Amino acid sequence: MTKVDRRIAKSQEAIKKAVVELMSEKSFDDITIQDISDRANVSRGTIYLHYMDKFDLLDKLIEEHIDKMGEICESTSEMEYKDANLPWFEYLKSHYLFFSTMLASKGAPSFRRQFHEFLIEEFKDEVDTSQGKNHELNEDVLLQFIVTSYVGIVEWWITNGMLYPPKVMAEQVGILLERNL
């Protein structure tokens, strides 16, 4: 893995932070590269050096968070749901502005879809309808129920200002997952 120049990393972070801040203030459609440039205190050329356009920037930002959530899933795959959820909810909390903006923004509906698709992949091996309490259910229906519920609870938690600490959310959601999977 090649080492990234600290100046480049600093510029990219400023650009990503700027676009999220701007999206929390106005519609993505109304944001210009100049707006991002001004907020990040970098030139337009610097933005175009790293991203084709604002859509590419948003896609890469979303991809970065989805990849990080994938890493969390990998590192917690052998844990009980209550324990495995804690790093998730801590990550969501530590990136509150991003997630609250993406879940509330009309300009980023692709985030919710990608988040849902990501969770489908993560939960599909957990769903078992061959025996036990779920033996009468269709796997696709159960999987959609679990994932839609998970996305919904995350969305509710984030958009309501994280009413409960990550530990409480991890425990509560973990119990619900254990009851349904």
Name the residue ranges covered by the structural domains of the chain.
1-51, 59-180
Predicted confidence at residue 104, as pLDDT, reads 77
Q: Give residue for tokens 């009980």.
A: 80
Confidence (pTM): 0.90
- Domain boundaries 1-51, CATH class: mainly alpha
Same fold? 1-51, 59-180: no
pLDDT mean for each 10 residues of the chain (181 residues): 78 95 92 97 95 95 96 94 95 95 76 93 89 89 95 94 97 93 85
Contact 22, 36 (CB under 8 A): yes
Contact 84, 167 (CB under 8 A): no
Q: What CATH fold (topology level) applies to the domain 59-180?
A: Tetracycline Repressor; domain 2 (1.10.357)
Residue type, 51: Y
